[in-house]
Structure 1
Amino acid sequence: MDREIQSRILAMQKNEITEYHIYTRLAKMLEKTENGPILRTIGEEEKKHHDFLSKFTGKSARPKGFKVVFFVLIARILGITFALKLMERGEEEAQEIYDAMSRQVPEAKQIIEDEDAHEEKLLQMLKEERLEYVGSIVLGLNDALVELTGALAGLSFALQNTRLIAVAGLITGIAASFSMAASEYLSNRTEGNSEGAVKSAVYTGIAYILTVGLLILPYLLFSHYMVCLAATLGIAIFIIFFFNYYVAVAKDLKFWPRFTEMALLSLGVAAISFGIGVLVRSTIGIDI
């Protein structure tokens, strides 16, 4: 086996033992849940990968400490499914190394493919509450983005007073968040999902109110209404980007079509509402 491939295999060994430590740390965190044994089993698969590769390098690799800490932290903040799916997305290079290795060690590719297929099945078995209610989060987030960006755009030109706009937007947003939560609760009850109705309503309401708070924040920090509006639209795009990236990674969905659709919808409504604000101000003659 030539030195270049051996060097790349050693790098893969380090990656496999690092992932073993990540899975093991997460398994300890969740040992009292049904996800704990699943994560421990996946970790053992990664350890097997490392041990298999050590036959060709004659060495044992040390884990990347920073990577272990980083992914454990991500799992605590954004959930284990997102953290692990994000980690598994960096496996393209590993496949290239195994392909190169299989030219000299034919059985290597099949062994790794079998074990990776097993890992994928185990990952699909993970259960996480926030992903089970992602539909409710989308409802609250999307409604807040579409309705409030539109309302703030219209109010910005109609009132041109940042404090008044913030107050009007906050009252509108809080009232709408309770309304959306109640609607989600009743919708779930009507569909026979009595057990999950309360949680669905809570996730919808929290997603809505958090989005409202972020969108209104510029109107409390800056004095010029156009600067505030630009900042609000920027925050809206960031929220859309972050949330769609999160869902795309965690649920193996395509990112760009979802992001584009949501961004165009929110910005389109904002543009129409801004035009209505211009029309209202010029027609009614508001002067604040």
Structure 2
Amino acid sequence: MDFNDLTPEQREAILAAQKNEITEYHIYTKLSASIKDQHNKEVLAEIADEELAHYKFWQRITRQDMKPDRWKVWLYFIISRVFGLTFGVKLMEKGEQRAEEVYTKLADTMPEIHKIVQDEDRHEKKLMELIEEEHLNYVGSMVLGLNDALVELTGTLAGLTFALQNTRLIALSGFITGIAASFSMAASEYLSTKSEGESQIPIKAAIYTGLAYVFTVLFLIFPYLLFESYFLCLGLTVINAVLVILIFNFYVSVAKDLDFKRRFLEMVSISLGVAALSFLIGFLVRVFLGVEV
């Protein structure tokens, strides 16, 4: 088949696929060279070799050399180093799914593409066999700490905002409540993990739960330390809560192959619902009990 005989759309799709393959070859090669785990290193190196073979397949058709997208190579390398190999590789894997759609459109014209599609399917299975990173084994503990902090502290701050109407007092009360609750949650997670005899180490589960709680607390009360308007602070706190839910659920959905939209909407609904109810309680306390600060 002559490359010039193809339609402009087909030529563009093939050139994009060729560039994508050489880019992913460099990504996998760089990741393989940077990690210590021998099993992960070998799997990534093997996948890199297959990506290079795919690139050469397209090169024989286009008779052109393509340079990798260096920005994309460094982007996924940095993401994998900062957020973990599993997250970085699976995020890139979603890009491979888009590449498979291109291959499917070209399959009728070039039957050899079926082998590439099969290779991409094997990539996904091999990636799933990568040894799990330790922190992913404790995602449940992090979810527990983060979700409890979001629901409890967002509600607490909403209630305190109307009851106290003083940003410094609200921040102090929220901080004390949040730190005490984080210790309580960490202790509960320790006892729960220990009693259930799971594969997790109880002390690590407690640490992950406590840290997720503390960081969430600090992020939520931060606006009250910057501004004087308590309603502005409450609005920013709600925005911060939604951002935390968005970022964390995106991370977990990619790393653990979970439904992002359903989990995100569920957590947002619960957190904002509790905040609204607590705000109403704070209003009633101030009005009917005559609390003035």
In the alignment, which residue of structure 2 is the partner of 1:152? 157
- Root mean square deviation of aligned Cα: 1.5
1:224 and 2:229 aligned: yes
1:47 to 17, 37, 52: 52
Q: Encode CA deviations 1:133-153: one digit per residue, 9 max, x unaligned.
A: 111110000000000000000
Deviation at 1:101, TM superposition (A): 2.6
In the alignment, which residue of structure 1 is the partner of 2:104? 99
Deviation at 1:60, TM superposition (A): 2.9
- In structure 1, C-alpha distance between the alignment counterparts of 2:97 and 2:123, rounded to whole Å: 15
In the alignment, which residue of structure 2 is the partner of 1:112? 116
Number of residues of Structure 1 aligned to a counterpart in Structure 2: 287
| Kept in 2: contact 1:149–1:233 (CA 8 A) | yes
Q: Encode CA deviations 1:4-24: one digit per residue, 9 max, x unaligned.
A: 223321221111111111111
Q: Which runs of 5+ in 1 are unaligned?
A: none
| Kept in 1: contact 2:175–2:221 (CA 8 A) | yes
Name the SS of the counterpart of 1:169 in structure 2: helix
Report the TM-score, using the length of structure 2 for normalisation. 0.93
2:33 to 7, 28, 37: 28
In the alignment, which residue of structure 2 is the partner of 1:122? 126
Q: Which runs of 5+ in 2 are unaligned?
A: none
| Kept in 2: contact 1:31–1:37 (CA 8 A) | no
| Kept in 2: contact 1:16–1:49 (CA 8 A) | yes
| Kept in 1: contact 2:29–2:48 (CA 8 A) | yes
- In structure 2, C-alpha distance between the alignment counterparts of 1:233 and 1:148, rounded to whole Å: 11
In the alignment, which residue of structure 2 is the partner of 1:171? 176
In the alignment, which residue of structure 1 is the partner of 2:275? 270
Residues 128-143 of structure 1 aligned to structure 2 (within 5 Å): 128-143=133-148
- In structure 1, C-alpha distance between the alignment counterparts of 2:249 and 2:221, rounded to whole Å: 21
Inter-CA distance 26–10: structure 2 relative to 1 (3 Å threshold): same
1:206 and 2:211 aligned: yes
- In structure 1, C-alpha distance between the alignment counterparts of 2:187 and 2:112, rounded to whole Å: 58
| Kept in 2: contact 1:6–1:56 (CA 8 A) | no
1:17 to 22, 25, 34: 22
Report the TM-score, using the length of structure 1 for normalisation. 0.95
| Kept in 1: contact 2:100–2:117 (CA 8 A) | no
1:189 and 2:211 aligned: no
Deviation at 1:195, TM superposition (A): 5.5
In the alignment, which residue of structure 1 is the partner of 2:77? 72
Q: Percent identity?
A: 53
Moved more, 221-230 or 120-129: 120-129
Deviation at 1:33, TM superposition (A): 4.8
- In structure 2, C-alpha distance between the alignment counterparts of 1:34 and 1:285, rounded to whole Å: 66
